Amino acid sequence: MRLILLAALLALALPAGLEAAEAKLSPAELAAKIDEHIDAKIKLARGVPAPPANDAELVRRLFLDLNGTIPEIVAARDFIDNRRPDKKAQLVKYLLSRKFTGRRDATGNEYSYYAWHWSNVWRTWLVTGTNDQNVLATLPQLEMWLRQELNKNTAYDRMVRDLIVVDPSRGTYGTSGYVFYQANQFRAESLTATTTRLFLGVKLECAQCHNHPFAKWDKKDFWQMAAFYSGNVAMGSPGFRGFPAPGTGEIEIPNTGKKVKARVLGSKTDATASGDYRVALVDWMTTKDNPYFARALANRVWENLMGVGLVEPLDEESKDNPASHPELLALLAKQFSAHDFDLKYIIEAIVLSKAYQRTSRQTHSSQSDPALFARQRVRGLTPEQLFDSLALATGNKGDEVVPGAMAVTPFGPTNARADFLRRFPNQDKRSEQETSILQALYLMNGKLVDDATSLEHNENLKVIAKAKTLPTWKRVQQVFLVVLSRKPSEAETKRLVKYVDVGGPTKDSSRALCDVFWALLNSNEFCTNH
């Protein structure tokens, strides 16, 4: 009896919120916890959070972040006019399951827009900054695999296992793992650096050649991790077999004559495996109590959606560079693990938070500190988002410009989309994204935008321009909704109605409406996620 009473008293003595933190939280519950942590930090800093984004801002942001394109005019208008209190949560659910009509996988299932867009995101994370023609040639296969796995909402740990432990029964070329290995030239050290950076959030390559006096990890740590990939021979080296090989668990540190055995980060004992040491590596990485795996993913997704990571740079957490909100990052990691590494879950929770749904407009000086998350960050559109939004805004249904038509290819432009992606490569930090002069000129004067702002090629513009029964203010409003997913302000309406009625420099009202469309397409508002 006394033991029961003692247990009850101990339960009462637990710190407030501990039980809730350990329980599996729904996306909405986790979103509320996110806001508790963010708001507490803002209050501590005597900051002032920005107000919520208006409906036009939010619907555009959610479509871009979850589906990769701006919303169609009907979707934007319906959300803005919707008065249901749960409309934000309902829109998030819809966007995470929305089907891409006419686009089907090998089994006949329709792809979701979420899978189509996030396959681009993941492809950029997995293969960045390469000009290797062989790697670029296999990117469409990598995207296809990513798209299929995301369409099934395959657990994150399962996807990472398939990337690292390549199943030979699937063949060599065209498999997800093959592209991953080829992008790292089959070199154990490159595979190690990428694996630890991307999947563990640890920048280990700095220890590859020498020890740093203040770094947590040393040269031996690096090569002990590299031993998990030691069965692979670098491309172009004698013995290269052209496909991923099982890890042998032992590797020689270059220029030392010393060999080390495979050992995971932080362990004091060597790893053991009955066969392929890569299996042992993934088994350790994907355990729910791994201190790095879920944490790294949570931080990476947070950075993608919020513009700044909780740890920034993403792979350089240390005593000198701690997380801005350590308890929040720990909570996100724990809940991601508790939900069996469900990628949709962690994305849904973040976008449901008030922190995500704040306006990007700065309304107080304290909001200039990005680590406070007192307002949303303005992020440049990815090349895929920009092109697919251009295609959607113009209503062009041709094979060359349909959203998501194909991945970038290495052998010159094969269609309008491939040409565009070649000119606009992805940048590491979208919150610091810049457009070059040549890119700006391409957007202003290139054939793609020139066609997009002509009545002959722009179906949406043609319909609006021909609607002569509509008053000019209504047609200007339609153009704004198509391009910017919002209605024009009173001042914008007054100025642009006058311009269209006069007909601009050509005295042609239809051409003047084309000018308005062109100006909006080239605005910062269209080219950014805000």
Owning domain of residue 420: 379-529
**Lookup result for tokens 């642009």:** 496
According to DSSP, residue 47 is labeled -
Residue 213 has a pLDDT of: 47
How many helices (H) and strands (E) in the chain?
25, 6
Instruction: Report which of residues 157 and 318 the model is more confident about.
Output: 157
| Tens-place pLDDT, residues 63-101 | 999 999 999 999 999 999 999 999 999 999 999 999 987
Which conformational region is residue 215 in: left (phi greater than 0), alpha (psi within -120 to 50 degrees), or beta? beta
List the beta bridge partners of residue 104: 110
Q: Name the 3-class secondary structure at 15.
A: coil
Q: Is residue 75 part of a domain?
A: no
**What percent of the chain is predicted at pLDDT more than 90?**
57
CA neighbor of 354 nearest in space, from 90, 75, 89, 64? 89
Indicate whether 4 pLDDT > 70.
no
**Lookup result for tokens 């962690």:** 346
Residues 166 and 175 sit within 8 Å (Cβ to Cβ): yes
Indicate whether 409 pLDDT > 60.
no
Distance CA 418, CA 71 (A): 22
Highest mean pLDDT: which range of 24-33, 138-147, 201-210, 265-274? 24-33
Instruction: Report which of residues 428 and 357 the model is more confident about.
Output: 357
Q: Is residue 118 part of a domain?
A: no
Residue 191 has a pLDDT of: 95
Average of per-residue pLDDT across 449-461: 74
Sign, CA dihedral 225-247-150-25, equals negative
Q: Is residue 404 part of a domain?
A: yes
Distance CA 326, CA 17 (A): 16
Half-sphere exposure of 512 (CA within 13 A, CB side): 18
Indicate whether 436 pLDDT > 70.
no
Indicate whether 426 pLDDT > 80.
no
The burial class, CB within 10 Å (0-12 / 13-18 / 19+), for 133 is: exposed
Distance CA 443, CA 380 (A): 15
Q: Is residue 182 part of a domain?
A: no
Residues 422 and 408 sit within 8 Å (Cβ to Cβ): yes
Indicate whether 207 pLDDT > 60.
no
Residue 441 has a pLDDT of: 59
**What percent of the chain is predicted at pLDDT more than 70?**
83
**Lookup result for tokens 């179906």:** 459
Number of domains within the chain? 1
Provide the pLDDT confidence category of residue 215 given band limits of 50, 70 and 90: low
Distance CA 443, CA 457 (A): 16
Q: Is residue 402 part of a domain?
A: yes
Distance CA 173, CA 105 (A): 19
Average of per-residue pLDDT across 499-519: 91
| Tens-place pLDDT, residues 217-271 | 778 888 999 999 999 988 888 888 778 889 999 999 988 889 999 999 999 999 9
**Among 104-118, 219-233, 301-315, 316-330, the least confident range:** 104-118
Residue 17 has a pLDDT of: 39
CA neighbor of 67 nearest in space, from 75, 522, 521? 75
Provide the pLDDT confidence category of residue 502 given band limits of 50, 70 and 90: very high
Indicate whether 12 pLDDT > 80.
no
Distance CA 219, CA 222 (A): 5
Distance CA 524, CA 530 (A): 10
**Lookup result for tokens 């000119």:** 423
Average of per-residue pLDDT across 412-435: 64
Distance CA 524, CA 288 (A): 42
Residue 10 has a pLDDT of: 36
Q: Is residue 343 part of a domain?
A: no
Per-chain mean pLDDT for the chain = 85
Q: Is residue 451 part of a domain?
A: yes
**Among 11-15, 200-204, 322-326, 483-487, the least confident range:** 11-15
Residue 128 has a pLDDT of: 76
Residues 333 and 350 sit within 8 Å (Cβ to Cβ): no
Q: Is residue 387 part of a domain?
A: yes
Residue 163 has a pLDDT of: 92
